[in-house]
Amino acid sequence: MEKDCIFCDIINGKMGTKFLYENDTLVVFKDINPVAPVHLLIVPRKHIRSINDLEQEDKKIVSEMIMAGKDMAKKQGVTKSGYKLIFNVEKGGGQIIFHLHLHLIGGWR
Ligand code: 5GP
Ligand code: ZN
């Protein structure tokens, strides 16, 4: 757990955030400022700053995040209509929270 990291606080239950799914590797919760009808964040329990900081040992985490994205898309009913899975990387890439997360965005009509 990293000091002054809002996603570490959320993962540790300090913010009372509801998880739509969780397992030993990751948690899934709704984005507080959704840009589409479905906007979830898939967040590893391990504090990793960004995609740039991934190590070989994190391979399983990343693959689980993508699989969770697929599974959550199905649960949210957007599999057929389609969706985006997005990693923003560092400031120029639009990242504002420096704890790795995958956006699941979809549900447009
Ligand atoms: P980034 O731009 O870093 O890829 O995305 C961070 C996302 O986290 C943003 O879409 C933002 O709305 C969301 N976010 C920031 N703070 C909170 C929070 O306290 N709770 C939740 N649920 N989402 C947050
Ligand atoms: Zn963190």
* Per-residue confidence band for 104, with pLDDT thresholds at 50, 70 and 90: very high
CATH of the domain at 49: 3.30.428.10
- Identify the residue whose tokens are 């900081």: 53
Q: What is the mean pLDDT of the chain?
A: 97
Single-letter residue type at 81:
S
Rg of the chain over CA atoms, in angstroms?
Answer: 13
The secondary structure of 2-16 as a DSSP string is -TT-HHHHHHTTTT-
Q: Would 35 be classed as within a structural domain?
A: yes
33: containing domain: 6-106
Tens-place pLDDT, residues 47-82: 999 999 999 999 999 999 999 999 999 999 999 999
Percent of residues, the chain, with pLDDT higher than 70: 100
Q: Encode pLDDT of 13-55 as tens digits.
A: 999 999 999 999 999 999 999 999 999 999 999 999 999 999 9
Give me the number of domains the chain comprises. 1
Q: Does a structural domain hold residue 1?
A: no
Q: Is 95 in the pocket of ligand 1 (CB under 6 A)?
A: yes
Catalytic site residue from 39, 99, 101, 103: 101
Is 55 inside any structural domain?
A: yes
Protein residue with least CA distance to atom 20, ligand 1 = 32
